[in-house]
Amino acid sequence: MCENNHQTSNHPSHFENQNDSNEIPTHVELKWDEFQEKIRGFRFFDPHIHMVSRTTDDYQNMAQAGIVAVIEPAFWVGQPRTGLSTFKDYYSSLVGWERFRSSQFGIKHYCTIGLNSREANNERLADEVMEILPLYIYKEGVVGIGEIGFDDQTELEEKYYRLQLELAKEAKLPVQIHTPHRDKKRGTERSMSIALEHGLDPSFVVVDHNNEETVKSVLDQGFYAAFTIYPFTKMGNKRMVSIVEEYGAEKIMINSSADWGISDPLAIPKTAALMVSRGISHDVIRKVTYENAIEAFAKSGQIHVSDFENGLSSDPSDKFHGNSVLRGGQQPKRNQNSLFID
Amino acid sequence: MISIVASMFPSYSSILYQVLQDHTTQEEIQWLDSIPKTDSLALMTSFVKTPRFIQKTTIQKTSQNLIPEIPGFQVEHWNLVRLSRVWLLTFVSDFPKDQCIQTIETLFDTAELNELVALFSALPLLPFPEVWLPKATDAVRSNMGFVFDAIAIQNPFPFQYFSELAWNQLVLKTIFNAKPIELIYGLIERKNLNLAFSTIDFVKERWAAGRDVPANVWQLVSLYVSESEISLIERLFLSEKEEDQIAASLICSESNWNSFQSLFIKYPKYKEEIQKRKWDWSKLSIVFK
């Protein structure tokens, strides 16, 4: 695939199918003060967010909004990688630098590791990546294989999806499935039936990016159904509230998938605020914004709630002696209302 | 630079194994025993998987001179995962040179933070130090606090193998990151003129910005400060912090410059205590930690 960069159809952007949806961006739905009041006291867990493409300001805002832990699935960085080294560096950043940066702002960072579907189409490189995956999936804080599955639904995508399902089985790790943007319904069904064919326990599998068309089948077959609140292309949070009203909270979880596109790292707290407004019970909100994700991914044996439920155990600036993200003695939170930058 | 002979390595394994035996449960030591020590892939995946089988118990007091051939190497306050990983690496040391280097390189390439800590902690025990030297100097550039600490704090590798330039960078970055310089192994032995100049520049920059520096940093400067810098020392004497005043007094007590002796007469508060050995640089580090 990297040999044919000019074939743009192989690399559709996250903005594709923009016209398919008339969703209003989530960030204009509530007044800020109103929003903060509604989410007071909640803790949130975002099981799908690509922090590698987000800024430190996002971490600060997420922490302030009650997000205590995140899972960062390995995915596509916006352009195809051309060699194994860049995969290694990327995976290493997920378990290394990004996790460290997150901890500086009091957020526990986990990840899922996998070869993404778009890049599975470069067979030579995909084979090389498969060789090094075992050195990553057993690392501390790796809570699953992901995100894997289908994009264009090619034969090569299926080949590497199957190989990674086997790896997940062997390592007894949960799987995080990316379902395709195009031909989603068929792609979702195909992903699930292959997972079952490989003997995976559906309670170890999180099917992501669901919508009104896929949710019933996913839940009926015993899988976890994750929903991505992502403006324009995926699920809007008003629609999400309706889904929770219809299907309840069992095995449903919400994420932001925030990445390098127009997306919102506060998608979960904002959706929670909307659910509060609509009178959904706090127990249900807690399940879909916190507990269910933990229940699903804790099967990896790598999530210990005590690590984050009351915030990370120590003051980040003490713990790391002001190193790095907090350069030369910076404080974890600067005063954004001041003109002075000391 | 001293080249270490490969045949010495089994003894390192057994020394570390003894510490492991003292701290692990039966189940944990059984897992460590079960790892095939001559299989490169098995050693690599076990290195990665260690936290799934070994608890992060902190190792309490051990001998400060654990491996007599490598002064400064110690495992006190490490956790068991780190020690287990370093122990596994001693078996990689027994491989033929190419295989040993390739295995360690692969682990470096794919390492996460705690694995990097173990790898850098193991450097003093590994053969072919010249191969690891660039990685060690890179680690000093790391923005990840634990990685930086693994090479800079209580690790004899930089003392033994770093060039003066790399050594000075390590010390300066330790100061910059507000970490304890007294925990750098060999700090006093490797004091040098260039480091003193850079430290003075750094202090001036900090002061210009209205920031300060820890008082024990002045020990790097003490023997090298020229008479033209006397205003810096006078400013230290005028500091509101007691540790700064003691540092200024220590500098004057170590200096042969007449102007410094005159300054000492002007600010004699700590002179007697220094003569009675109540204060030296190490005590300054401990008391004003």
pLDDT in tens, A205-263: 999 999 999 999 999 999 999 999 987 777 888 899 999 999 999 999 999 999 999 99
Put simply, whether B45 touches A (Cβ < 8 Å) is: yes
* Predicted local confidence at residue B171, as pLDDT: 97
Among B106, B114, B145, whose Cβ lies nearest the Cβ of A320?
B145
pLDDT over 70 percentage in chain B: 97
Of B46, B71, B244, which Cα lies nearest the Cα of B154?
B71
Residue of B nearest to A316 (CA): B145
User: Between residues A80 and A3, which one has the greater pLDDT?
Assistant: A80
Q: Which residues of B touch A95 (CB under 8 A)?
A: 112-113
- Mark residue B206 as left, alpha or beta (left: phi above 0; alpha: psi -120 to 50; beta: remaining): alpha
- Distance of alpha carbon B34 from alpha carbon A319, whole angstroms: 35
Q: Does residue A147 have a cis bond before it (omega within 30 degrees)?
A: yes
B153 to chain A, closest Cα gap in Å:
13
Residue of B nearest to A111 (CA): B112
Domain count, chain A: 1
Could you tell me if residue A50 is inside a domain? yes
pTM of the prediction? 0.83
Could you give the C-alpha distances from B249 to B199, B265, B276, B277, in angstroms and in order?
Answer: 18, 10, 13, 12
Determine the structural domain holding residue A89 and report its residue range.
32-303
B248 to chain A, closest Cα gap in Å:
24
Could you tell me if residue A147 is inside a domain? yes
Q: Tens digits of per-residue pLDDT, B121-180?
A: 999 999 999 999 999 999 999 888 899 999 999 999 999 999 999 999 999 999 998 899
Whether B53 has a pLDDT exceeding 50, the answer reads yes
Helix (H) or strand (E) holding A156: helix A155-171
Count how many pairs of residues, chain A against chain B, have C-beta atoms within 8 Å: 68
Per the CB < 8 Å rule, is B176 touching A328?
yes
- Distance of alpha carbon A105 from alpha carbon A312, whole angstroms: 9
Put simply, whether B49 touches A (Cβ < 8 Å) is: yes
Name the DSSP class of B228: G
Q: Tens digits of per-residue pLDDT, B6-44?
A: 444 458 999 999 999 999 999 999 999 999 999 999 999
Per the CB < 8 Å rule, is B143 touching A91?
no
Could you tell me if residue A89 is inside a domain? yes
- Segment A290-294 shows an average pLDDT of 98
Could you tell me if residue A247 is inside a domain? yes
Question: DSSP alpha helices (H): ranges in A55-116?
Answer: 56-64, 84-95, 97-103
A329 to chain B, closest Cα gap in Å:
7
Residue owning tokens 């490989």: A198
Beta-sheet strands, E only, within chain A: 44-46, 67-73, 108-113, 142-149, 175-178, 205-207, 224-228, 252-255
Residue owning tokens 């943007």: A181
- Segment A169-197 shows an average pLDDT of 95
Put simply, whether B141 touches A (Cβ < 8 Å) is: no
Could you tell me if residue A23 is inside a domain? no
Put simply, whether B211 touches A (Cβ < 8 Å) is: yes
Could you tell me if residue A245 is inside a domain? yes
Whether A342 has a pLDDT exceeding 90, the answer reads no
Per the CB < 8 Å rule, is B144 touching A91?
no
* Predicted local confidence at residue A16, as pLDDT: 47
Residues in chain B: 289
Q: Which residues of A touch B45 (CB under 8 A)?
A: 134-135, 138
* Predicted local confidence at residue A27, as pLDDT: 47
Beta-sheet strands, E only, within A150-268: 175-178, 205-207, 224-228, 252-255
Could you tell me if residue A144 is inside a domain? yes
CATH number, position A262: 3.20.20.140
- Segment A294-312 shows an average pLDDT of 91
Whether B65 has a pLDDT exceeding 90, the answer reads no
Could you tell me if residue A111 is inside a domain? yes
Q: Tens digits of per-residue pLDDT, B235-283?
A: 999 999 999 999 999 999 999 899 999 999 999 999 999 999 999 999 9
Among B110, B143, B211, whose Cβ lies nearest the Cβ of A135?
B110
Of A151, A156, A181, which Cα lies nearest the Cα of A21?
A181
Start-to-end Cα distance in chain B: 34
